[in-house]
């Protein structure tokens, strides 16, 4: 008898997610210090000071279970977004909401359509339920091919994911194209719009995905506190949908998946509009700097609506940058072996990256 014989076939066939070694461990191995972390699209400014104060205040209460309903955070979000409280689903990161969607809607044989390269969690949650991922390539400009996505939908399609702006390319789709796509979808396909980077968007014609929740009940919009709100380590994400849709996701959710510290910090972070504005402005300046400097090094960059940038540096540059103490995300696993994804950092971090790239160029 082997344990493998007992395991669900679709779980046995999953490729284990490799989170990579901790940066501190790699630094020790290579004898580096003070590396720059530009690989995970985190907020370079750090968390809001108000969120940090809320965490300190919450510490003494951690012997109590958290509010399983997340009432304070729910109220705050409902008010901020002008949506009904019952239409919100709070999760341990938006990753948990993706899991809940898969658990709630997918069975073996169902198909799930999404663009590729896009967020790595989509194929993982789909395969985890034994459903079939259907990946539609981005167009030549690394933008969602919405017509291609629409054409890939069959009678077996249960869910379509649209990541807007798209990770790892930073590209976005505009309202006209998105609205046409959403209107064309069969009403029995669940539309998941992943807006993890929406607070960074600069284009004026960005789609109003929340409005589609009212127009088309099988729709959910995902947001997160991990990016501009700077709380990635606490794991807070949420979905906005109809109260009925939300009630089904709630059935398979662990009641205490959102811990007490995370809830307290999230409420404070959402209230700190000044921190969000500062983060957005720092990002816009850093993005402009990186576009100019990478351009000067003849490195092709993809115009981005987020806090990261897809750059065509050539193959192997991610590993070479690690030796320079700069961590970016190599894109070989996404079928883009010549590209890296770079998170916009603090001005001095961006300069470290540019100098390292220049050194590599001169050494080559």
Ligand X SMILES: *Cc1c(COP(=O)(O)O)cnc(C)c1O
Residues near ligand X (CB under 6 A) are: 41, 93-95, 119, 163, 167, 194, 196, 224, 226-227, 232, 237
CB of 277 to ligand X, least distance (A): 21
CA distances from 41 to 229, 271, 338 (A): 12, 22, 19
CA distances from 326 to 129, 219, 293, 360 (A): 37, 39, 16, 12
Q: Which residue is nearest to ligand X (CB)?
A: 93
Give exposure, 352-363, as e/b (b: 16+ Cβ within 10 Å). Answer: bbbebbeebeee
Cβ count near 108 (within 10 Å): 11
Crossing angle of the two packed helices 260-271 and 49-58, in degrees rounded to 10: 150
Q: Which residues pair with 91 in a beta bridge?
A: 237
Vertex 212: Cα angle to 209 and 215 (nearest 5): 170
- Both structure tokens of 99: 């899991």
CB of 122 to ligand X, least distance (A): 9
Q: Of 98 and 353, which CB lies nearer to ligand X in the complex structure?
A: 98
CB of 82 to ligand X, least distance (A): 22
Q: Of 48 and 167, which CB lies nearer to ligand X in the complex structure?
A: 167
CB of 101 to ligand X, least distance (A): 12
* Torsion (CA) 81, 116, 219, 126 in degrees, nearest 10: -120
Q: Of 259 and 316, which CB lies nearer to ligand X in the complex structure?
A: 259
CB of 333 to ligand X, least distance (A): 15
Q: Of 170 and 286, which CB lies nearer to ligand X in the complex structure?
A: 170
Q: Of 112 and 163, which CB lies nearer to ligand X in the complex structure?
A: 163
CB of 167 to ligand X, least distance (A): 4
CB of 297 to ligand X, least distance (A): 26
Q: Of 121 and 360, which CB lies nearer to ligand X in the complex structure?
A: 121
| Phi, psi of 334, rounded to the nearest 5 degrees | -105, 10
Strand-by-strand arrangement of the 339-343 sheet: 300-301, 308-312, 339-343, 329-330
C-alpha 170: how far from its chain's center?
A: 11
3-state SS assignment for residue 194 = strand
Q: Which residues pair with 162 in a beta bridge?
A: 193
Q: Of 125 and 131, which CB lies nearer to ligand X in the complex structure?
A: 125
Q: Of 125 and 322, which CB lies nearer to ligand X in the complex structure?
A: 125
CB of 298 to ligand X, least distance (A): 28
Cβ count near 315 (within 10 Å): 15
Question: Are the beta carbons of 197 and 165 closer than 8 angstroms?
Answer: yes
């Amino acid at each position: 008898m082997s344990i493998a014989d007992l395991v669900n076939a679709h779980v046995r066939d999953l490729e284990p997610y490799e989170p990579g070694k901790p940066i501190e461990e790699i630094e020790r191995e290579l004898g580096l210090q003070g590396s720059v972390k530009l690989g995970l699209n985190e907020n370079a400014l750090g968390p809001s000071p108000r969120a940090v104060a809320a965490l300190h205040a919450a510490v003494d209460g951690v012997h109590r279970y958290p509010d399983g309903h997340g009432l304070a955070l729910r109220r705050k979000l409902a008010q901020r977004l002008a949506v009904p409280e019952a239409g919100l689903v709070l999760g341990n990161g938006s990753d948990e909401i993706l899991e809940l969607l898969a658990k709630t809607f997918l069975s073996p044989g169902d198909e799930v359509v999404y663009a590729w390269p896009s967020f790595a969690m989509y194929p993982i949650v789909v395969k985890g339920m034994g459903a079939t991922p259907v990946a539609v390539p981005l167009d030549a400009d690394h933008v969602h091919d919405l017509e291609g996505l629409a054409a890939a939908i069959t009678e077996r399609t249960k869910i379509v994911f649209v990541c807007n702006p798209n990770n790892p390319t930073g590209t976005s789709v505009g309202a006209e194209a998105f609205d046409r796509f959403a209107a064309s979808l069969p009403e029995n396909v669940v539309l998941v719009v992943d807006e993890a980077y929406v607070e960074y968007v600069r284009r004026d014609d960005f789609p109003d995905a929340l409005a589609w929740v009212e127009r088309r009940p099988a729709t959910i919009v995902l947001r997160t506190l991990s990016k501009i709100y700077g709380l990635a380590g606490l794991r807070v994400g949420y979905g906005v949908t109809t109260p009925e849709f939300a009630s089904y996701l709630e059935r398979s959710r662990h009641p205490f998946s959102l811990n007490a510290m995370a809830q307290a910090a999230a409420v404070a972070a959402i209230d700190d509009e000044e921190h969000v504005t500062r983060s957005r402005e720092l990002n816009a300046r850093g993005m402009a700097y990186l576009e100019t400097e990478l351009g000067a090094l003849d490195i092709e960059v993809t115009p981005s609506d987020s806090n990261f940038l897809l750059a065509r540096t050539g193959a192997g540059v991610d590993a070479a940058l690690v030796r320079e103490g700069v961590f970016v995300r190599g894109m070989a696993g996404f079928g883009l072996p010549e590209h890296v994804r770079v998170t916009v950092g603090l001005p001095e971090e961006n300069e470290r990256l540019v100098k390292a790239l220049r050194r590599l160029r001169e050494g080559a």
